[in-house]
Amino acid sequence: EGSLPALLARLEQAARTERLVAWVVDDGSADATAAIATAGVPGLDVRLVQHPQNLGLGQAVQSGIRAVLAAADPADFVVVMDADDTHDPAMIRVLHDGLDAGADVVICSRFVDGGDDSTAPPFRRLLSRGAAVTFRTALRVEGVHDFTSGFRAYRVSVLARAAKHYGERLIEEQGFACMVELLLKLRHCSPVIAEVPLVLQYDRKQGASKLRLRRTIGQYVKLLVRDRLAPAPYRAL
């Protein structure tokens, strides 16, 4: 709630040079998130997706993606970003350029030249970097260094293909592992994936982190095991 007005104001600035629709997913919050999104800001098309109760990050991402796909044109693109104001909307232009250059998915990466996550807490940096090394070694997805970044752009055509195939199973993880899961499932669409440097603005974050270290590590391990052992829907598209 506290970060949303500032984020919407920054999105309005980005909308002056990009044709943007801002979709806000309210995951069953008891605060003023829905009211802030409904009020919107002048110059920005803000739309609200609401859950009647808290369903977790995975379902929030899935609901947002499905709402966008229902309204988007095939030539459009979808940007997923955190609403805590740690992701700079000015990067949307850079993501758009990456798609125009031929990528199907563009990831804002902390782990390429020019990327930086020094404002994040040490435990969070350790988890992100450990996950990056593990997933790069185990999964070998070409073009990806930062598997857990929540700031990405996708071509609507690629997301729509995956959503049609997987149905409600597009995203099954409820926590932070959902971002890795989505990459794994999109992998079978043979997407071209590119990365651009992300300077994480964690010092702008308001409120406590919702990341739970043990739970998130457990989700990552489970995801790796499923990817190694499970048949469809992980293995065929």
Return mean pLDDT, the chain.
90
Lowest-confidence segment of 17-31, 112-126, 146-160, 216-230 by average pLDDT: 216-230
pLDDT for the residue numbered 143: 87
**Residue 208 pLDDT grade (very low, low, confident, very high; cuts 50, 70, 90):** low
Six-digit token string for 97: 């350029």
pLDDT for the residue numbered 236: 46
Higher-scoring residue by pLDDT: 138, 228: 138
Rounded to whole angstroms, how far apart are CA atoms 99 and 97?
Answer: 5
Please give the share of the chain, as a percent, with pLDDT higher than 90: 68
Cβ neighbours, 10 Å, residue 208: 6
Rounded to whole angstroms, how far apart are CA atoms 103 and 192?
Answer: 5
What is the per-residue pLDDT across 98-148, written as a single tens digit (0 to 9) for each? 999 999 999 999 999 999 999 998 988 988 899 899 988 888 788 899 999
Contact (CB, 8 A) for 24 and 48: yes
pLDDT for the residue numbered 207: 61
pLDDT for the residue numbered 56: 92
CATH code of the region 4-229? 3.90.550.10
DSSP-derived pairing of the beta strands 45-51 and 21-27: parallel
Lowest-confidence segment of 27-36, 55-64, 162-171, 219-228 by average pLDDT: 219-228
pLDDT at 187 over 90: no
**Residue 210 pLDDT grade (very low, low, confident, very high; cuts 50, 70, 90):** low
Cβ-based neighbours of 154, under 8 Å, separated by 6 or more: 77, 78, 79, 80, 104, 105, 186
Higher-scoring residue by pLDDT: 233, 37: 37
Rounded to whole angstroms, how far apart are CA atoms 30 and 121?
Answer: 27
Domain ranges (residues) in the chain: 4-229
